[in-house]
Amino acid sequence: MDREFAGRRVVVTGAGSGIGLATTRLILERGGAVIGVDRSDAGIASIGAIGAVPIQADLTSTEDRGRLLDAAEGVHGLVLSHGVTQGQRIDEVTEADWDRLHAVNLRSVFFLLQAFAPRLPDDGAIVTVSSVAAKTGTIPEVAVYAAAKAGVLSLTRSFATAHAARGMRVNTVLPGVIDTPMQRQFLEFNAPIHGITPEELNERRLGAIPMRRAGTPDEAAEVILFLLSARSSYLTGQMVNIAGGFVTW
């Protein structure tokens, strides 16, 4: 199993930090090659530092997606872990907020799936990264993000069905509270809305998790690698929660 990705090339978006970076590192450690995509200079530096091929791109851009597709000829897998969030009162969301969050978290996912899925081999696999927020909808301050991530669930099922007959698989993971830069950003912007400190909000969130702790990026990445690998060869169109028991359906 240690070399299970030998001879395999995978594109990982959002590869510069958090779950994307952990996924990239584990694929490399297990013999694979990775094209890592990120928008920021810091993310690109992190990708290059661990031995992946970095591509700097804004995935909301048709031109940048096309450039990525050209560079990724012959890949065997795709992990779509890029995303952005922002916290605000639900009655303060503007059309510009909606458009920006959906452009990154949903629109780009659709067009990347549309572009890559037909090009992957029959034994290829795609993993999208949604969120438990897509199922619960219980944090009004991230309503737009949650709606976009719910759309990712639907897209995953649609593309899984479209390509199932030939064996190419598409599944999604739904992280809960994972110790990533996005999670820390969530605490910073959401705590003031509730009139508490980020530390207090973190304790409140952890208290709602049956396992009473946050997950690690590596724990999430291990599930992603399983879904990319031949070990999950009869799974497609599935939603896997990575949430310490917080969501069980």
Catalytic site residue from 34, 83, 144, 145: 145
CA 130 to chain centre: 6
Angle between helices 143-163 and 108-116 (to 10 degrees): 20
Q: Which two tokens stand for residue 112?
A: 């990347």
**Residue 122 CB partners (closer than 8 Å, separation 6+):** 166, 167, 168
Contacts 24+ apart (CB under 8 A), 14-17: 14/38, 14/80, 14/81, 14/82, 14/83, 14/129, 15/43, 15/46, 15/47, 15/52, 15/54, 15/81, 16/40, 16/42, 16/43, 16/44, 16/45, 16/46, 16/47, 17/42, 17/43, 17/46, 17/180, 17/181
Q: d(Cα 5, Cα 52) in Å, to the nearest integer?
A: 14
Q: Look-up: residue for tokens 């031109």?
A: 63
Q: Tell me if residue 234 is catalytic.
A: no
As annotated, the active-site residues are: 145
